[in-house]
Structure 1
Amino acid sequence: MKHIATFAAVGAALALAGCNSETNSNTKAAPPARPVLSIVVKPNSDKTIGFTGTIQPQYQTELGFRVLGRLVARNVNVGDLVKAGQSLAQLDPFILALALRAAEADLVKARAQLANTTAAENRISILLGRQISNQADFDTAQQAKEAAAAAVQQAEANLAKAREQLGYTTLNADIDGVVTTTDAEVGQMVAAGKRVVSLARTDIREAVVDLPDDRAQLLAAGAPFEVHLQADPLVKANGKVREIAPQADAATRTRRIKITLEQASEAFRLGATVTATPLEATTSTIDVPLSALLERDGATRVWIVDTAAKTVKTVPVQVAERNGRSARIASGLEAGARLVVAGVNSLSEGQAVKMDERTTR
């Protein structure tokens, strides 16, 4: 009986040890929740970002003479307002005036030659009718008349050309505007086509600003802006993007944006410095630390904490801008979400986490 009791005690002890071993194995299979550092993200709707630029004309014309000559007069200076048809500069017309007189003399000579050949043709025609002259003489006279008529047409064309070239010695404004540059002085020899005066229209003005490449990519033609005059911030005007540079500057990595102003006051003079603020640039962006970004499979993702289940999951986001410490999220992340900001490369989908007060900010 003693041996039987001993065996029973040993069996009970072994069974109890097996239960304890199984319990310990199950405990090791369920790892503890991992503490994470997280923040609650907030939108940037209360931020306004302005970009410095200048007022420039949308339409500008560079004017120059069509003929070579010496400049004898320049009637305007930078800043002068001019009307269409107003004289801006004058070349010495002496050489072209002589050419005009020569063309007039050539026309008189051609017309006299035409009169003589016409009279000769008439005489030979009468003699041919009386059978005093022959057909060959008549054909020759007729040919001479036609050649004289052609010479008259050529002389008339040369005269028109000479008059036109003489008119080219006067440079006239083709639009109402303001003089922005002058590139020739009195007494200077001016080549044909060389810029002498630049005119800018004052009725349509635009703000020209340089934006960072990543921010310019978020804009499209027609995007609204608010433009403030830096000399007087109370003076403002609304505008819309007319043109976006197709590529960024190699040195500054910025792209030039042209914003056409709508009903701008006279205070927005050409060359004035302004601040242009995009009206829709900060309504949906969120700033997060760079340590929160996870690059996976060619996409940028972030870890979001499910506060109810106390687990994490990744969501894709679109980054609008990066700097040395933070990134601006354009889409994919909602305000109020709890975001993991450290150790993003060592988490897994659905992993249990612990939001300890000491590691939450």
Structure 2
Amino acid sequence: MRRVHVYGASLVCLSLMLAACQKQDEAAKPEVIRPVLSTTVKSQSLQIRGFAGKVEPRFQTQLGFRTLGRIVRRDVSVGDLVSNGQEIAALDPLALELAVQAAEASLSSARAQLVNAASTEDRQKALLSKDSSTQATFDEAQQANAAASAAVVRADADLTKAREELGYAVLRSDFDGVVTSLQADVGQTVTAGQLVAVVARPDVREAVVDIPEAVANPIKIGSKFGVSLQTDPTIQTSGVVREIAPQADEATRTRRTRITLEQPPEGFRLGTTVTAYLTTAADPRIRIPATAILDKDGKTFVWLIDEKQATVSTKEVRLEGRTNAEAIVADGLTDGDRIATAGAHSFAEGQKIKLTDGNSL
């Protein structure tokens, strides 16, 4: 009987020893520290949006000859600086020079006829005073003299016109500027008014950008923009909206906006690509990623991070809106709170975590 009691007591002691060893092993096992993606909650008072565009001149002129002809000379290339009155291109002047010569000959003939008509009138007037001629003959001489005088005026006008058209054979710049485009080459026959060259004034430059219609609606004439070079964003200037397209482009649904640059640096050359920045009031509501939301027992929570203790705890929030990408928090969070942005359904209350880099909202 004593042997049975001793054997039972031994079993109990052995069980207690195994349990104690198991507890020691669990206590010795290190706690798992979980890395977590996080972000700091921050509401925005201002919003900055950028729009790509390029630098264009405010004033530019499309130049073309005012008469038909074949180009025999072109004195400039794209990018050349030209001064007021400088020759850009020229037509073959032969036909126009012949027209001038013909007009000069016509004027000489008209003047000779006028001299003859004037002499005839004077002679008929003298004869009429001596009753050696009739009044009708004198009237005819007088009318011939007047017609000859009118012919001289007409021939003189034709000569002036021919000389002016000869001047049209040379295409000149109307102001100091830079050649931005050439549309005709030597040997090409052009019609009157056909585009040959485009000359721009580089002194007044604009940033031309296409802004989405939804964003462009609040923009007004005189709105301020910041503008920087895309090749070197450190080179910056400011600008004022001068013109907004009244209607959006049917294909892109954007409205072309012209921003006059204020004292732009040298780097803002014509054709340079730029980014125009618009600063507007932002939605002050707090937005967080949808992956940070924990739905539990009909309520909505986020995992609030205690950076000092390196632990997480649930925090109930009230949402104002929610999509697959983000959620708008109406109540429960304040600026500066840090929350976990991934793994919302796999945390435990008070769990130890290891922070990784996150982006501020």
Provide the residue aligned with 1:86 in structure 2: 86
Provide the residue aligned with 1:128 in structure 2: 128
1:104 Cα offset (Å):
0.2
1:48 Cα offset (Å):
2.5
What fraction of aligned residue pairs are identical, expressed as a percent?
Answer: 53
Return the alpha-carbon distance in structure 2 between the equivalents of residues 327 and 66 of structure 1.
65
Provide the residue aligned with 2:188 in structure 1: 188
1:288 Cα offset (Å):
6.9
Alignment RMSD: 2.9
Return the alpha-carbon distance in structure 1 between the equivalents of residues 228 and 44 of structure 2.
21
CA contact (8 A) 2:99 2:162 kept: yes
- Superposed, which structure 2 residues align to 1:288-307 within 5 Å? none
Return the alpha-carbon distance in structure 2 between the equivalents of residues 325 and 121 of structure 1.
103
Which one-letter code corresponds to 1:74 in the other structure?
Answer: R
Alpha-carbon deviations, 1:135-169, whole Å to 9, x = none? Answer: 00100000000000000000000000000000000
- Superposed, which structure 2 residues align to 1:280-291 within 5 Å? 280-281=279-280, 283-286=281-284
Provide the residue aligned with 1:63 in structure 2: 63
Which one-letter code corresponds to 2:80 in the other structure?
Answer: D
Return the alpha-carbon distance in structure 1 between the equivalents of residues 224 and 274 of structure 2.
15
Look up the SS of the partner of 1:175 in the other structure: coil
- Superposed, which structure 2 residues align to 1:10-159 within 5 Å? 43-45=43-45, 47-159=47-159
Provide the residue aligned with 1:29 in structure 2: none
Which one-letter code corresponds to 2:66 in the other structure?
Answer: R
Return the alpha-carbon distance in structure 2 between the equivalents of residues 112 and 324 of structure 1.
96
Which one-letter code corresponds to 1:261 in the other structure?
Answer: L
CA contact (8 A) 2:209 2:258 kept: yes
Q: Structure 1: any 5+ residue segments left out of the alignment?
A: 1-40, 290-311, 315-322, 329-335, 340-361
Return the alpha-carbon distance in structure 2 between the equivalents of residues 217 and 144 of structure 1.
73
Cα 1:228–1:133, aligned 2, differ >3 Å: closer, same or farther?
same
Segment drifting more, 250-259 vs 72-81 = 250-259
CA contact (8 A) 2:89 2:172 kept: yes
- Displaced runs of 4 or more, over 4 A: 323-328
Return the alpha-carbon distance in structure 2 between the equivalents of residues 170 and 239 of structure 1.
38
CA contact (8 A) 1:288 1:326 kept: no
Return the alpha-carbon distance in structure 1 between the equivalents of residues 67 and 173 of structure 2.
17
Provide the residue aligned with 2:269 in structure 1: 269
Return the alpha-carbon distance in structure 1 between the equivalents of residues 143 and 114 of structure 2.
11
Provide the residue aligned with 1:202 in structure 2: 202
Q: How many residues align?
A: 265
Return the alpha-carbon distance in structure 2 between the equivalents of residues 185 and 120 of structure 1.
56
1:265 Cα offset (Å):
1.7
Return the alpha-carbon distance in structure 2 between the equivalents of residues 189 and 114 of structure 1.
41
Provide the residue aligned with 1:216 in structure 2: 216
Q: What is the TM-score of this pair, normalised by structure 1?
A: 0.68
1:248 Cα offset (Å):
1.5
